[in-house]
């Protein structure tokens, strides 16, 4: 990654910068995820130099309060976006599920990388190795920082108890292994796999057990919307299937006005040019739930470039102008339609009650 003179970078990459500054959180997982994105960019732009700028976010600093009770929509993104706005970094790598469905003005998601497994996984205390959630003893305590997971699992496994657990992956695994407070904890399978901890996964939760979070398992690259050079540079990382699935999921969440303070969950499948979206909402204790599945046609071509006034349009914060705009529009409409169906069946009441109880 030797630096190159400015003239060379302009000639060989079409970029006016010779060093691209990449913002990220300080956690080990965030660095691993950012390194993977930088490696993909480096392979495509071997004459550029990439500098990683790590920083702590609000969500990293407040560790004694449940995420759902902090009341800040941009817990893991605000400080990174501030640096992007001040031109201290040129792009930021996030877990897509951390990004609100409405981005601050002037920002866009310039790339959604190919999705790792979106499912949730259970890591058991060593004394419960080989068990499943179903076979754990009565009143076993399960740790999770997610209202979504807790609501669904309370419904599915009423013999278990659920308690909040905070901290990065390393911290949560340490709390599990070194104390007797938890029989198991539930985490995103993608994070465990990226950390190389596949062997700790005792059970992967299927959609029948637990629908996942919007955008879970996907990495997003956020950039300044008007920085066309950087936008063009990162856009090659877009994965078409992941883009369409995540547009539908984010549109569903946005139309419901959901977030980490309410239990909202999804599952998407793209098969034979049909996109299937399952969306669900839950009461905090899981006793009430609404769930619907709809589908839409996705006849898209990965490099279809549709000329016209919609070239730079964003879909729930995502700019993917080298992919079919009609497919992106259809994916967004699908998310809205599933949300509308749930709202017509009483989802707003369930979510309002969940918010009030959580705030209390």
Active site residues: 98
Residue 301 in tokens: 């071509």
What single DSSP character describes residue 263? -
For residues 250, 146, 32, 219, the Cα torsion angle rounded to the nearest 10 degrees is: -10
Q: Which H/E stretch holds residue 270? A: strand 264-271
What residue has token string 């899981």? Answer: 286
CB contact at 8 A, 222 and 92: yes
Beta bridge partners of 124: 184
Q: Which residues pair with 186 in a beta bridge?
A: 122
DSSP 353: H
Q: DSSP string covering 25-91, please? A: ESSHHHHHHHHHHHHHHHHH-TT-EEEEEEE--HHHH--SS-HHHH--TTTTTHHHHHHHHTTS-SE
């Amino acid at each position: 990654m030797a630096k190159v003179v400015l003239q060379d970078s302009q000639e060989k990459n079409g970029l006016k910068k010779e060093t691209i500054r990449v913002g990220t959180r300080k956690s080990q997982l965030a660095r691993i995820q950012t390194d993977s994105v930088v490696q993909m960019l480096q392979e495509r732009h071997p004459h550029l130099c990439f500098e990683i700028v790590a920083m702590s976010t609000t969500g990293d600093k407040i560790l004694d309060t449940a995420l759902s009770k902090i009341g800040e929509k941009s817990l893991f993104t605000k400080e990174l976006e501030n640096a992007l706005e001040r031109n201290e970094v040129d792009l930021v790598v996030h877990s897509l599920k951390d990004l609100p469905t409405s981005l601050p003005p002037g920002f866009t998601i310039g790339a959604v990388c190919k999705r790792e497994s979106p499912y949730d996984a259970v890591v058991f205390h060593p004394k419960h190795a080989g068990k499943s959630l179903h076979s754990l003893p009565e009143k076993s305590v399960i740790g999770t920082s997610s209202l979504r997971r807790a609501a669904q699992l309370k419904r599915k496994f009423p013999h278990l108890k659920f308690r909040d657990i905070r901290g990065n992956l390393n911290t949560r695994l340490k709390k599990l292994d070194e104390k007797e407070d938890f029989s198991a904890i539930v985490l995103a399978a993608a994070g465990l796999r990226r950390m190389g901890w596949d062997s700790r996964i005792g059970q992967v939760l299927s959609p029948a057990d637990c629908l996942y979070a919007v955008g879970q398992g996907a990495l997003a690259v956020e950039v300044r919307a008007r920085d066309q050079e950087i936008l063009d540079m990162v856009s090659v990382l877009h994965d078409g299937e992941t883009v369409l699935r995540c547009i539908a999921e984010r549109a569903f969440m946005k139309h419901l006005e959901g977030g980490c303070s309410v239990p909202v969950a999804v599952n998407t499948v793209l098969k034979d040019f049909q996109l299937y979206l399952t969306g669900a909402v839950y009461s905090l204790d899981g006793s009430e739930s609404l769930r619907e599945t709809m589908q839409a046609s996705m006849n898209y071509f990965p490099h279809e470039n549709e000329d016209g006034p919609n070239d730079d349009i964003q879909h729930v914060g995502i700019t993917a102008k080298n992919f079919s705009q009609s497919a992106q529009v259809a994916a967004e409409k699908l998310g809205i339609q599933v949300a509308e169906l749930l709202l017509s069946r009483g989802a707003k009441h369930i979510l309002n009650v969940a918010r009030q109880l959580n705030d209390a």
